[in-house]
Structure 1
Amino acid sequence: MYELFVLGELMTGDKHGYMLQDILKNAAGPTRQISSGTLYPLLSRLVDGGLIHLRHEEESEGGRTRKVYGVTEAGRARFRELMEEPLPYDGETERLFGFKMVYFQYVGKDVRLSCLRQYASYLEKNRKYVVDFEAKLLAHKPEPEKQRVQLLRVFDRRKTVWAAEIEWVKREIERVEKEE
């Protein structure tokens, strides 16, 4: 996922490591931070793999050298591969979908539609799981009742959120399908 992020950000233009870390910090949200110990080894691997290039630029204040990264043609190809990969159905699906959406302008309509449809399928699968589990709870009425009732409220919340997101994705699919 972070490889996609780095390559996607570099598709917009060259950036130094601190800027990449800052953008990712804001994109991932307050509960998911990437450490320097994760980002800089990834950048080194991408440089070593020929997916990005590194140049040293002298900073105007303090005279320090800043490392600036840019994407190579091999990196552009790898970025497209990552964008075309199916979404996993795991705990990172929503975050990865969000990252992919940010970079939709760099891929074709077919890739965007595929990603949107995969995400819609993921949401529908989760909604169905909750609906089926809710039906079991209603049929068997396990104890304690207070806990069962609260669990049903949690399920109601999830169904409401997923229904709204499913509707949004359907509208987005329709919008992209109409593009030329």
Structure 2
Amino acid sequence: MYDLLLLGSLVGGDKTGYKLQKIVGSALQPMRKVSSGVLYPSLEKLEKEGLITSTEQQDVRKTKLWHITAAGTARFAQLMQADIPSDAKRNDMIHFKLRSLNSVSMPVQLKILTEFQSFIESDLLFYQQAQQDMQAHRVEFPDMAPRFDVIVSAYDLDIQLAQTKLSWINQQIEQRTAI
């Protein structure tokens, strides 16, 4: 999963492991951190596959500078064009791809945005239907109305977030198609 983010970070230029750790950390949700125990094995795997290389630098202390290879650039393009899986990692993959949109062609950018749009439209329909179901349960089971009210309110938040995402996506698509 981190291959896309690491390769995308290196497409923009060489970086140290420390800088890559900061980039990966900023791309994840605020409560998730990437440890050195996850980052460096991922970098070493990419290096072993010939997708990146490293050179040692001697500044104040010895550091490695990571560089993407031609094979790594090709792999990055392949990952950006790949369909986003509809699983638990979906949101991370979308965020990773959105952070690298400027590194791919306009058709690929539009593919990513429309795929994201489709996911969010599907989520929105789910939230709206679930909210309607809870409203019906509220009427059917009036003694549990306060519990259903809380659930209906939580779905309000999900619906508003999905609508905000759709608005942003539509704006991004519009900007790209107006060019």
The C-alpha deviation readout for 1:8-28, integer Å capped at 9, x for no partner, is: 111111111111112222232
Matches within 5 A, 1:31-42: 31-42=31-42
Partner residue, 1:99: 96
Partner residue, 2:82: 85
Partner residue, 2:18: 18
Matches within 5 A, 1:49-68: 49-59=49-59, 61=60, 64-68=61-65
TM-score (normalizing by structure 2): 0.92
Q: Any unmatched runs of 5+ in structure 2?
A: none
Native 8 Å contact 2:134 2:151 kept in 1: no
Bigger drift between 73-82 and 20-29 goes to: 20-29
CA distance in 2, matches of 1:87, 1:33: 22
CA distance in 2, matches of 1:19, 1:172: 28
Q: Any unmatched runs of 5+ in structure 1?
A: none
- Provide the secondary structure at the position in 1 that maps to 2:98: helix
The C-alpha deviation readout for 1:133-172, integer Å capped at 9, x for no partner, is: 1222222334521110000000111111111111111121
Kindly indicate whether residue 66 of structure 2 is the aligned counterpart of residue 69 of structure 1: yes
CA distance in 1, matches of 2:126, 2:29: 27
Kindly indicate whether residue 131 of structure 2 is the aligned counterpart of residue 134 of structure 1: yes
Runs of 4+ in 1 over 4 A off after TM superposition: none
Aligned length: 176
Residue identity opposite 1:133 in structure 2: A
Partner residue, 2:177: 177
Task: Tell me: CA distance 1:129–1:69, structure 2 relative to 1, closer, same or farther (3 Å).
Answer: same
Task: Tell me: CA distance 1:108–1:136, structure 2 relative to 1, closer, same or farther (3 Å).
Answer: same
Partner residue, 1:115: 112
